[in-house]
Chains A and B, each alone.
Chain A
Amino acid sequence: MSPLDPDPRFSHYWSEHLRDKVFGANTNAFSSRFSGFSICHPIYLENAMLLATRHAIYSAAVSTEETATFMLLPS
């Protein structure tokens, strides 16, 4: 998302554009584990959905913390 999009209640957000670092964005959504409880509604591109699903699986499987990611995926 762009720096204009994130909910201000969230302490972190991610953007695919490196330049958004100056606005406090993280730039690689898969650079850290999903942890805690979250909703994931990825963009509807096959590879993006696969990567998000795979990352959620990996995060849940290796995490020692409570982790639950609710995926919303088109079929």
Chain B
Amino acid sequence: MHHSAANTHVCKFLGTIPLDQLQYAKVPFWNNIQIPLSKHSWELQIIAIWNTKGRVCLNAHNKDWLKELAKQIPEAKWESQNIHNHPYQTALGSRQHSGLNKFNKLPNDHPEAPEGPDIISALISTDQPQP
């Protein structure tokens, strides 16, 4: 598992736009010639990276914000119906750790990135209330 799994307390996998439902906007060229895009072979994952204040703010603004978002992106398969306000558990325990410390354990800025799906799977949150 990728080291960013330690940051699941700020990450939440929300849903996926399947391969056959994913469409990219056609970008017009300056002389209105359409640039043909090659057919994609991937799904698109929707992941929220937020802090507790951010989630609380969204829920306070509209407790059904995620349902409203789902209506706006009907082609996506959504994993969650509601987002809780409570702090997320970390992958290593129930205590919320300092993000700065976790960030320091991530790799340096050179091209050693893992495969994409590993990044995604490592970000899935437990979304369980703290005891």
Contacts and interface: CB of A to CB of B under 8 A. Distances in A.
A74 B44 contact: yes
B89 interface: no
Given A57-B4, A69-B49, A71-B49, A46 B54 contact: no
Interface in A41-67: 46-47, 49-51, 53-54, 56-67
Contacts of B103: 54, 57-58, 61-62
Interface of A: 37, 46-47, 49-51, 53-54, 56-75
Nearest to B7: A57
A47 B100 CA distance: 20
Contact of B49 (A49, A51, A60): A60
B43 A56 contact: no
Contact of A58 (B99, B114, B117): B99
A57 B54 contact: no
